[in-house]
Amino acid sequence: MASKNVHDGEFPDQAVIDLGFEDGEQVGLVCNDVETLYLSESVSMYNKIENLLSTETTSDLTTVKRAFILPMHNVSTERLKASLKEHKISITNDYEKADFIIPHTNFYQEFSQVSNIPQSKLIFKLSNGYFAHLHRTLTHDYHDDTTNNVLLDKRSLGDSYQYNIDYESAPYDSYCFSNMSLVLADLIEKGEMKVINTDTVLNQSANRVPITEELMEDIKKMVGDYDASDEEIEMAGKIIPTIDPTGEPYLLYVYATDFLDYITHKYNRNKDVMYWMDKYSINKLSRCSAEEAIKYFDESGELDSRCFRALEVKCRNEIQIYNRELYTFKVQVKPEYRKYMED
């Protein structure tokens, strides 16, 4: 039986072989105890594992029954569970019982030298790092039992200081893999585990609400004031992640600049709201001029005639022309944007 602990279980020697690693060694990482990781110097293998764990293999929710959510997900389990329940899909904390995983962008990260490395990180890159084990009984005993080197991070240092302990350099580019990452990647590569993206799950939920001016004005009344009550903030926090701005880029821009970006601090501990804000680039949109918003939506493929015409009016108000006493000017939309002026 597996668990949500990314280091649980016997070291997956066969998975390492089957995945195609040609170099590497087992090393220790101090968590509550010292856990064993696999360290490789191969960036291509790191990219391979990252891609296997993050690339969607199917978007058909009718082909799966039980989900395993990768640890440290940036959407709440409650929201994912509610969306999956609509499709009669359950969630398990034992990946051995799951037939698909739901990945996210927090399972990998880069660190350097002596860093704070989260215990639940599936894979990570450590640049210019170190090994050390003699400064603590915990790490010394682990090394004696396994002969494995131990990564030096801030948790491993404990009450010591790097300058007064014995240490040696780790490979400059150290790519580290937890047991869970290796087992899951192996299952995915063999076709025994599927991958379904978070947005696929959330976008197929019947709880999504189309964005409208009326809806956004209601939310603005709930949270836009400094004296908004806790109940209003909580209620809005449940509505915002369900809002679907598809087909209404102009409204999204209007309310991003109007109030959405300014309420982020009220939800910095709400995974679902922060995920929604990030997904729809609220912070970036709130800082865009009308012209920049047109370019942004054009590049993202969301720009349509209604959006362009509404934003183009704002752009005209921002035009600055000098030397008017000597010259007359004629303003025209560039040819590449004229298609948006057609009915």
- What's the pLDDT at 343? 66
- The stretch 8-27 carries a mean pLDDT of 95
Range with the lowest mean pLDDT among 116-120, 149-153, 188-192, 227-231?
227-231
Q: Over 80: is that where the pLDDT of 2 sits?
A: no
- What's the pLDDT at 304? 94
Task: Express each pLDDT in 188-200 by its tens digit.
Answer: 999 999 999 999 9
Task: Express each pLDDT in 282-295 by its tens digit.
Answer: 999 999 999 999 99
pLDDT band at 303 (very low <50, low <70, confident <90, very high): very high
Q: Over 70: is that where the pLDDT of 1 sits?
A: no
Q: Over 80: is that where the pLDDT of 225 sits?
A: no
- What's the pLDDT at 264? 87
Q: Over 90: is that where the pLDDT of 103 sits?
A: yes
Range with the lowest mean pLDDT among 85-89, 180-184, 202-206?
202-206
Task: Express each pLDDT in 250-286 by its tens digit.
Answer: 999 999 999 888 888 889 999 999 999 999 999 999 9
Give domain limits for the chain.
13-202, 209-286, 290-341
Range with the lowest mean pLDDT among 78-87, 115-124, 225-234, 284-293?
225-234
Instruction: Give the chain's mean pLDDT.
Output: 93
pTM: 0.85
Q: Over 90: is that where the pLDDT of 53 sits?
A: yes
SS (H, E, C) the chain: CCCCCCCCCCCCHHHHHHHCCCCCEEEEEECCCEEEEEEECCHHHHHHHHHHHHCCCCCCHHHCCEEEECCCCCCCHHHHHHHHHCCCCEECCCHHHCCEEECCCCCEEEEECCCCCCCCCCEEEEECCEECCCCCHHHHHHHHHHCCEEECCHHHHCCCCHHHCCCEECCCEEEEECHHHHHHHHHHHCCCCEECCHHHHHHCCCCCEECCHHHHHHHHHHHCCCCCCHHHHHHHHHHHHHEECCCCHHHHHHHHHHCHHHHHHHHCCCHHHHHHHHHCCHHHHHCCCHHHHHHHHHHHCCCCHHHHHHHHHHHHHHCCCCCCCCCCCCCCCCHHHHHHHCC
- What's the pLDDT at 323? 82
- The stretch 296-315 carries a mean pLDDT of 94
Task: Express each pLDDT in 105-130 by its tens digit.
Answer: 999 999 999 999 999 999 999 999 99
Task: Express each pLDDT in 203-220 by its tens digit.
Answer: 999 889 999 999 999 999
Q: Over 80: is that where the pLDDT of 309 sits?
A: yes
